[in-house]
Amino acid sequence: MRAAVKAGAHTVYCGFADETNARNFPGLNFDRDEMGEGIKFAHDHGAQVLIAINTYPRAGSEALWHRAVSDAERCGADAVILADLGLLAYAAKHHPGLRRHLSVQAAAANADMLNFYASEFGVKRVVLPRVLSVPEIAAINAETEVETEVFVFGGLCVMAEGRCSLSSYATGESPNMNGVCSPATHVEYHEDHGALSAKLGGYAIHQVGADEPAPYPTLCKGCFNAGDATGHLFEDPVSLNAEKLIPQLAKAGVTALKIEGRQRSRSYVAQVVRNFRAAVDAQAAGLPMPEGMLARLTEGQAATAGAYKKTWR
Amino acid sequence: MELTVGANQFFWTADDWSAFYASIAAAPVDRVVLGEVICSKRLPFYQDRIPAAIEALLAAGKEVAVTSLALITLKRERKQMAELAEAGVEIEVNDLTALAFLPKGTAFSVGPLVNVYNEGTLAWLADRGATRICLPPELPLASVAALAAEGAARGVVIEVWGHGRLPLAISGRCYHARLHKRTKDNCQFACEDDPDGLSVRTLEDQPFLAMNGVQTLSDSCASMAHQVEALRTTGVGALRLSPQIGDFGALCQAWRDRLNGTLDGAALAAKLTDLSGGMRLSDGFLTGARGADWSGEDTRKFA
Domains of chain A: residue spans and CATH? 2-157+238-312 (3.20.20.70), 166-231 (no CATH)
pLDDT digits (tens, 9 = 90+) for A186-223: 999 988 888 889 999 999 999 888 788 777 899 999 99
Chain A residue numbers touching B136 (CB-CB < 8 A)? 165
Amino acid identity at B140: P
* Closest alpha carbon within chain A to B204: A204
Contact B209 A57 (CB under 8 A): no
> Cβ of B88: how many Cβ atoms within 10 Å?
7
- Position B301 scores a pLDDT of 42
In chain A, which among 204-243 make CB contacts under 8 A with chain B?
204-207, 220, 223-227, 229-230, 233-235
Residue B68 · residue B97 · CB < 8 Å: yes
Query: For residue B66, which of B107, B35, B45 has the smallest C-alpha distance?
Result: B35
Residue A122 · residue A99 · CB < 8 Å: no
Residue B175 · residue B213 · CB < 8 Å: yes
Chain B residue numbers touching A214 (CB-CB < 8 A)? none
Spans in chain B with pLDDT lower than 50: 299-303
Query: Is A63 in the B-facing interface, judged by CB distances under 8 Å?
Result: no
Distance (Å, rounded) from C-alpha B31 to C-alpha B21? 12
Chain A residue numbers touching B178 (CB-CB < 8 A)? 233
- Position B219 scores a pLDDT of 97
- Mutation site, B72, B74, B138, B160, interface A, largest A CB count within 10 A: B138
- Mutation site, B93, B181, B216, interface A, largest A CB count within 10 A: B216
Contact B78 A130 (CB under 8 A): no
Contact B169 A84 (CB under 8 A): no
What is the architecture of the domain spanning B2-166+218-287? Answer: Alpha-Beta Barrel (3.20)
Contact A159 B170 (CB under 8 A): yes
Which of A168, A234, A311 is nearest residue B183 as measured by Cβ atoms? A311
Nearest chain A CA: its distance from B38 CA (Å): 13
CA angle centred on A273, ends A269 and A279, rounded to 5°:
155
Distance (Å, rounded) from C-alpha A18 to C-alpha A88? 19
* Closest alpha carbon within chain B to A59: B118
Domain spans, chain B: 2-166+218-287
Distance (Å, rounded) from C-alpha B95 to C-alpha B68? 7
pLDDT digits (tens, 9 = 90+) for A112-165: 999 999 999 999 999 999 888 999 999 999 999 999 999 999 888 889 999 999
pLDDT digits (tens, 9 = 90+) for B228-280: 999 999 999 999 999 999 999 999 999 999 999 999 999 999 999 999 888 99
Nearest chain A CA: its distance from B96 CA (Å): 7
Distance (Å, rounded) from C-alpha A126 to C-alpha A106? 9
Q: SS3 letters for chain A?
A: CHHHHHHCCCEEEECECCCCCCCCCCCCCECHHHHHHHHHHHHHCCCEEEEEECCCCCCCCHHHHHHHHHHHHHHCCCEEEECCHHHHHHHHHHCCCCCEEECHHHCCCCHHHHHHHHHHHCCCEEECCCCCCHHHHHHHHHCCCCEEEEEEEECCCCEEEEEECHHHHHHCCCHHHHCCCCCHHHEEEEEECCEEEEEECCEEEEEEECCCCCCCCCHHHCCEEECCEEECCCCCCCEEECHHHHHHHHHCCCCEEEECCCCCCHHHHHHHHHHHHHHHHHHHCCCCCCCCCCHHHCHHHCEECHHHCHHHC
Nearest chain B CA: its distance from A194 CA (Å): 16
pLDDT tens digits for chain A (313 residues)? 999 999 999 999 999 998 998 777 777 789 999 999 999 999 999 999 999 999 999 999 999 999 999 999 999 999 999 999 999 999 999 999 999 999 999 999 999 999 999 999 999 999 999 888 999 999 999 999 999 999 999 888 889 999 999 999 999 999 999 888 999 999 999 888 888 899 999 999 998 887 887 778 999 999 999 999 999 999 888 889 998 899 999 999 999 999 988 778 899 999 999 999 999 999 999 998 876 666 556 555 577 888 888 787 8
Distance (Å, rounded) from C-alpha A152 to C-alpha A260? 8
Q: What is the DSSP string of B1-48?
A: -EEEEPPP-S---HHHHHHHHHHHHTSS-SEEEES-SS-TTTGGGTGG
- Position A293 scores a pLDDT of 62
Chain B residue numbers touching A230 (CB-CB < 8 A)? 203
- Mutation site, A133, A169, A225, interface B, largest B CB count within 10 A: A169
Size of interface A-B (CB pairs under 8 A): 211
> Cβ of A302: how many Cβ atoms within 10 Å?
13
- Position B298 scores a pLDDT of 60
Query: Is A161 in the B-facing interface, judged by CB distances under 8 Å?
Result: no
Nearest chain A CA: its distance from B28 CA (Å): 31
- Position A193 scores a pLDDT of 83
